[in-house]
Amino acid sequence: MALLYRLPFLILLTGMASASMILPAVVALWTEAHQDARSFFYSGLVGLVFCALVGLALANRPHNRNAIRQLLALLGTFAILPAVLAVPFYESVQTTSFLNAYLEMVSSLSTTGLPLFAPERLSMAEHLWRAQVGWMGGLLMWVAAAAILAPLNLGGFEVTSLDEPGQDVVAGAARRDTSNPASRLARSAAILVPTYVSLTLALWVLLLVAGDRPFVALTHAMSVMSTSGISPVGGPSGASSGFAGEAIMAVFLLFALSRLTFSADTGASQRAGLLYDPEFRLGVAIVLSVPLLLLLRHFVAALDLGDQNNVFAAARAFWGAAFTVLSFLTTQGFASVDWVDAQQWSGLETPGVILMGLALIGGGVATTAGGVKLLRVFALIINGMREVDRLVHPSSVGRSGLVSRRTRREGAFIAWVFFMIFAITLAATTVAFAAFGIPFEQSLVMAVASLSNCGPLVDVVQAGRLALIDLGPGPKVIAALAMIMGRLEMLALVVILTPDLWRD
């Protein structure tokens, strides 16, 4: 094990990804899809041999010397590793280009889940590989957030107080944390991997009990835990579990609202419980308030249909809105079956702007969710309320409490800087898509879906008007870059470009 800690981070992840190709190879062999079995088995074998040779050649050299080099390796993982993951997928599908396979793997590893291939076009092994890559990408973000991003005050930790995972509280600042980055990565993995695997298995069993087929239950369990939105049957509408399955998935989607739901590695968890966590409280408030507004909107529309007294239809409309709001807030992207019934009840179409706004807000810091993150939004809300108070009482002193202590004094300023960088990146990405002849509305939806890592947004909002696989190479490359930027976040890319990285 000591030898593994000394390996380069990218080589270590490539070896693990190559070993994981054995599972879809076994599934393909079981379903008698011999071409798929050969593609995954041979690709995994070649990848393991390659990683073993490179690891032996570099074993006596120092690696992972500081967290910022690990951050660079994390960027290389999202840019280079999908090319390795795309090899068996490309060889097994056979009727697509390698660029499409690469884009699919970037989408899966970044937990975006862009709808590139129709579900009926892929085999069971190929669907499993997509869900498996997305699941591994979610696990990677769980571990990397605590071991790599937190010591550098990135990924949302720049807004919080200094006693966060991976940081030395005694030192007083994350950048003075002198612990070994490789050891910190190993400690985080040892704590979080069993939790992630256990939650996935528990969700799989519960979906089986609810009535889903084993394969559908497994892929949906992986998709929900990683918030990738990948499904072999088009989401809950193609599953057999119905309302019970959606309720079970909704419970597990709460793990994407706050890190305190699955980890106690933050100082805030020792001072206060989950109910005092600003991210969880803000997320629950959004999940409850937005469906109520949508229900009132649907109810007003139902007045013209004479169906406003149907309590059962109203209850189904509220549940459909609540599950869909929670799903898009966590950038999962599953639309409830009752959400479709709610539209039929009211005669209103999908409020795409609301879903796009939810995806942009995103879930909790250091979770699998994408977007701006709830903690940054909370910091901006608190700062706005404080500025309003100062307009009325210019000499007042700011209040302090359990919630406000989680944010640094300059947290709102940093959150505003990140929001502006995100907005500029969103505008540039939209213009880049539009430069290839894509209509502005579709370009905006593609940019939001890519940067917020909420790929199913394209299908739900565009309703099939945008076929990603029919786009040229240019938009596909832009989409891949946008997904990588959204997953790693722009502040991390700015840090990578600092001169200190190249001096060490």
pLDDT of amino acid 108: 95
Which tokens go with 212? 């889903």
Calculate the alpha carbon distances from 287 to 130, 281, 283, 351, 361 in Å: 28, 10, 6, 15, 12
Largest Cα separation within the chain, whole Å, is: 76
* Each residue's pLDDT expressed in tens, for the chain with a length of 504 residues: 556 667 788 899 999 999 999 999 999 999 999 999 999 999 999 999 999 998 888 877 766 567 777 888 899 999 999 999 999 999 999 989 999 999 999 999 999 999 889 888 999 999 999 999 999 999 999 999 888 888 888 888 888 755 444 444 333 333 444 457 777 888 888 999 999 999 999 999 999 999 999 999 999 999 999 999 999 998 898 899 989 999 999 999 999 999 888 876 654 544 556 777 889 999 999 999 988 887 777 677 666 655 555 677 778 888 988 999 999 999 999 999 887 766 666 556 667 888 999 999 999 988 999 999 998 999 888 888 878 888 887 877 665 554 455 566 677 888 888 999 999 999 999 999 999 999 998 999 999 999 999 999 998 887 657 778 888 999 999 999 999 999 988 878 777 777 665 555
Q: Residue 180: what are its φ and ψ, rounded to 5°? A: -65, 120
The amino acid occupying position 492 is: A
CA atoms within 13 A on the CB side of 503: 3
pLDDT of amino acid 269: 45
Question: Read out DSSP for 370-424?
Answer: -SS-HHHHHHHHHHHHHHHHHHH-TT------TTGGGB-TTHHHHHHHHHHHHHH
Using DSSP, state whether 308 is helix, strand or coil.
coil
The pTM of the full predicted model, rounded to 2 decimals, is: 0.91
Burial class (CB in 10 A: 0-12, 13-18, 19+), 503: exposed
Residue 337 to residue 335: CA distance in whole angstroms: 7
pLDDT of amino acid 461: 85
Residue 19 to residue 305: CA distance in whole angstroms: 57
Calculate the alpha carbon distances from 417 to 164, 193, 303, 479 in Å: 21, 33, 45, 24
Which of 333, 348, 295 is CA-nearest to residue 317? 295
Give the angle 225-226-229 at the CA atoms, nearest 5°. 100
DSSP secondary-structure letter at 120?
Answer: G
Q: By the 8 A CB rule, do 130 and 119 touch?
A: no
pLDDT of amino acid 503: 58
Which ranges of 31-163 does DSSP label H, i.e. alpha helix?
A: 34-58, 67-93, 98-109, 124-144
Residue that the structure tokens 């609810």 belong to: 210
Q: By the 8 A CB rule, do 69 and 501 touch?
A: yes
Using DSSP, state whether 312 is helix, strand or coil.
helix
Residue 9 to residue 74: CA distance in whole angstroms: 8
Which tokens go with 60? 């006596």
Give the angle 221-120-459 at the CA atoms, nearest 5°. 70
Which tokens go with 258? 């706050």
Q: By the 8 A CB rule, do 188 and 166 touch?
A: yes
Q: Residue 18: what are its φ and ψ, rounded to 5°? A: -65, -40
